Chain A
Amino acid sequence: MSAKYGYYPGCSLERNAIAYHQSAVAVAPVLDIEFVELDDWNCCGATEYIAIDVLPAYALVARNLAIASRQKLSGGNQNQVVAPCSACFLNLSKVDKYMSDAPRLAANVNTALAAGGLSYKPGSVRVRHLLDIVVNDVGYDAIAAKVQKPLYGLRIAPYYGCLIVRPGFQGAFDDPEYPMSLDRLMGTLGTTVVDFPVKAHCCGGHMTQISEQVALELIRQLLQNAAEYEADAIVTLCPMCQLNLDGYQEAVNRHYGTKYHIPILYFTQLMGLAFGLPAATLGFGKEFVDAAAALNKIGVQPPPKPKKERAGKEALPMPEMAAGGLSHES
Chain B
Amino acid sequence: MSPERIGVYVCHCGSNIAATVDVEEVALWASEELGDRGVVVARDYQFMCSSLGQELIEADIKEQGLTRVVVAACSPHLHERTFRTACKRAGLNPFLCELVSIREQVSWVHTDRAAATEKAMAVVSGGVERVTLHQPLEPLHVPIHPATLIVGGGIAGIQAALEIADSGYPVYLVEREPSIGGHMAQFDKTFPTLDCSACILTPKMVDVGGHPNVTLLTWSEVERVDGYVGSFTVTVRKKARYVDESVCTGCGICTEKCPVRVLDNTYEAGLGYRKAVYRPFAQAVPKYPVIDRENCTYFQRGKCKACQLFCPTHPKAIDFEQKDEILQFQVGNIILATGYDLFDCRRIPQYGYARLANVFTSLEFERLCNAAGPTGGKIVLRDGVTEPATVGIIHCVGSRDHNYNPYCSNICCMQSLKFGHLVKERTGAEVFNFYIDIRTAFKDYDEFYQRVLEDGVHFVRGRVAEVTDAARLPGEEGKLIIQVEDTLLGKQRRIPVDMVVLSAALQPRQDSTEVAYTFGIACSANGWFIEKHPKLDPVATMTEGIFIAGACQGPKDIPASVAQGAAAAARVLGRIHQKELALEPVRASIIAERCSGCRICNNLCPFNAISYDTARMITEINPALCQGCGTCVAACPSGAITGTQFSNEQVLAQLYGLLLLNVSSGPVQQPQPALVPA
Contacts and interface: CB of A to CB of B under 8 A. Distances in A.
* A touches B (Cβ under 8 A): yes
Interface of A: 175, 177-178, 195, 197-198, 221, 224-225, 228, 311-322
A227 to B, nearest CB: 11
Interface residues of B, number: 25
A197 B469 contact: yes
Given A195-B355, A322-B346, 11 more contacts: A177-B348, A178-B349, A178-B355, A225-B471, A312-B384, A314-B383, A315-B383, A316-B271, A318-B354, A319-B354, A320-B354
A172 B472 CA distance: 29
Contact of A178 (B350, B357, B470): B350
A313 B273 CA distance: 13
B353 interface: yes
Nearest to B351: A177
Interface in B348-378: 348-350, 353-355, 357, 374-375
A195 B352 CA distance: 12
Nearest to B354: A319
Contacts of A178: 349-350, 355
Given A317-B273, A321-B355, A312 B385 contact: yes
Nearest to B477: A228
Contact of A198 (B272, B354, B375, B470): B470
Contacts of B355: 178, 195, 321
A322 B347 CA distance: 9
A225 B384 contact: no
A42 to B, nearest CB: 35
B65 interface: no
9 contacts: A178-B349, A197-B470, A221-B470, A315-B383, A315-B384, A316-B380, A317-B271, A318-B357, A322-B354
Contact of A321 (B270, B346, B468, B469): B346
A40 B380 CA distance: 63
Contacts of A311: 383
B263 interface: yes
Interface in B252-274: 263, 270-273
Residue from the set B263, B357, B470 with the largest chain A CB neighbour count within 10 Å:
B470
B46 to A, nearest CB: 50
Contacts of B382: 315-316, 318
Nearest to A220: B472
A284 to B, nearest CB: 29
A contact face: mostly helix, strand, loop, or mixed: loop
Contacts of B374: 316
Interface in B374-403: 374-375, 380, 382-385
Nearest to A178: B349
B350 A319 contact: no
A129 B350 CA distance: 23
Contacts of B357: 318
B contact face: mostly helix, strand, loop, or mixed: loop
Contacts of B272: 316-317
Contacts of A228: 471
Interface in B451-474: 468-472
Contacts of B470: 197-198, 221, 225
Nearest to B384: A314
Contacts of B350: 177-178
A225 B355 CA distance: 17
A317 B271 CA distance: 6
Contacts of A175: 349
A318 B352 CA distance: 12
Contacts of B270: 317, 319
A314 B349 contact: no
A314 B469 CA distance: 23
Contacts of B472: 221, 224
Interface in B190-242: none
Residue from the set A195, A197, A228, A316 with the largest chain B CB neighbour count within 10 Å:
A316
A212 to B, nearest CB: 18
Residue from the set A312, A317, A318, A322 with the largest chain B CB neighbour count within 10 Å:
A317
A314 B368 CA distance: 13
A317 B263 contact: yes
A222 B564 CA distance: 53
B391 to A, nearest CB: 16
Contacts of A221: 470, 472
A320 B271 CA distance: 11
Contacts of A316: 271-272, 374-375, 380, 382-384
B327 to A, nearest CB: 36
- Top 6 nearest A-B pairs (CB, nearest first) are A314-B384, A178-B349, A177-B349, A197-B470, A319-B354, A177-B350
A188 B384 CA distance: 35
A112 to B, nearest CB: 34
B213 to A, nearest CB: 41
A316 B348 CA distance: 22
B642 to A, nearest CB: 45
Contacts of B384: 312-316
Contacts of B469: 197
Given A221-B472, A317-B263, A312 B383 contact: yes
Residue from the set B346, B349, B471 with the largest chain A CB neighbour count within 10 Å:
B349
Interface in B590-621: none
A260 to B, nearest CB: 15
Contacts of B383: 311-312, 314-316
A266 B358 CA distance: 34
A319 B353 contact: yes
